[in-house]
Structure 1
């Protein structure tokens, strides 16, 4: 396992952290909730990271089983062409993704702890469905033939980085209190208005990564 792989996976995790849904829910809770804010927010973030982690482990184990039978599938010229085409499609589509799209971010429907778990699960389903960086990172780790004890901490670190922006915003809110009110309102507005722009950048960068990683085997 080389440092290059860790840097690439870390970069993909930072890209995933740009996804607006988790941060948007966090900002919404910080602006609207007063009772049991800390515990409710932590349950929400743990649920998001937990669902992502379980999906990642499942994919790694599943892909690892496939790799055991077809060890050279990703070095195959046809597969490399498929990766190149998918990367090209993502790269081109990123320029046509609606960048000014206003999206409705998920919101809790009640104040119970169960609603936070449900909200976290819902957010995870929304994000993992378009988690191009996550799938790219899992693909890279699989093709590197890492042992479980190697990819498991990398996957855990990926999920920690993914929820790091909400944790940073929460920490600033705790330390600065009312001072964070206007910045939080500004963040909420921008996330709702420009979530499409973040997705277009993610699609563009992941497309380029897939293109460059397929060139060696064409």
Structure 2
């Protein structure tokens, strides 16, 4: 397996950890849940990761021909210029993406296990349409002609990396306990005020990827 491919997919997975939704829900649970924190947080994160994983499998199995055709189309000079322009637009937009001004992140009204599943589904439904790094990673895997036993672990690893920040917060919460309380509260407010920052970084990086990938065909 190509090491450069593994590094590229891992880099895109790290970019996907910038999602403020899963981190925001995790912080809320850490601040309010005491008795069943592990089980409810696990249910939420597993739901999100599993839905993304199944989406990735569906795309890999059903859309590999589409990605191959797209790679061929990108060699067309007109398409390459269009891709370059789109990349430039995304890059410029990243500097002007508005930050949200709300004081708090949305919080689940109920912390029952079924509510955690519903919250995971909601998070997935809201964010999957803007999961540009994930679709880029699937595109790389699809055009690399890997066997299923090769791309399945990479896809699973991608989704594991994607939920690492909430897991790290949970471990730190176990180790540090109450000393993390103020830090979590500050982080919650920061996420609420700067939700747009993560999106701006994604727009910037994806824009640069489109620009550099189109240069060879201009």
Same fold (TM over 0.5): yes
Q: Relative to 1, partners in 2 of residues 1:62 and 1:98: Cα closer, same or farther, differing over 3 Å?
A: same
Q: Which residue of 2 aligns with 1:40?
A: 40
Q: Match of 2:194, SS?
A: helix
Matched, 1:172 2:185: no
Where do residues 50-61 of structure 1 align in structure 2 (5 Å cutoff)?
50-61=50-61
| Correspondence list, 1:150-189, <5 A | 150-189=150-189
Aligned to 2:149: 149
- Mean CA deviation greater in 197-206 or 91-100: 91-100
- Cα deviations by residue, 1:144-188 (Å, 9 ceiling, x for unpaired): 233322221111111111100000000110111111111111110
Gaps of at least 5 residues in structure 2 are none
Displacement of 1:76: 4.3
SS for the counterpart of 1:34 is coil
Aligned residues of 2:100 and 2:194 also touching (Cα < 8 A)? yes
Q: Which runs of 5+ in 1 are unaligned?
A: none
CA distance in 2 between counterparts of 1:70 and 1:111 reads 43
CA distance in 2: counterparts of 1:87 and 1:145, whole angstroms: 26
Deviation at 1:217, TM superposition (A): 3.3
1:118 shift after superposition: 0.3
- Residue 94 of structure 1 deviates from its aligned partner by 0.9
Deviates more, 1:172-181 or 1:84-93: 84-93
Between the two proteins, the alignment pairs up a number of residues equal to: 218
| Alignment match, 2:138 | 138
Shift in Å at residue 136 of structure 1?
A: 1.5
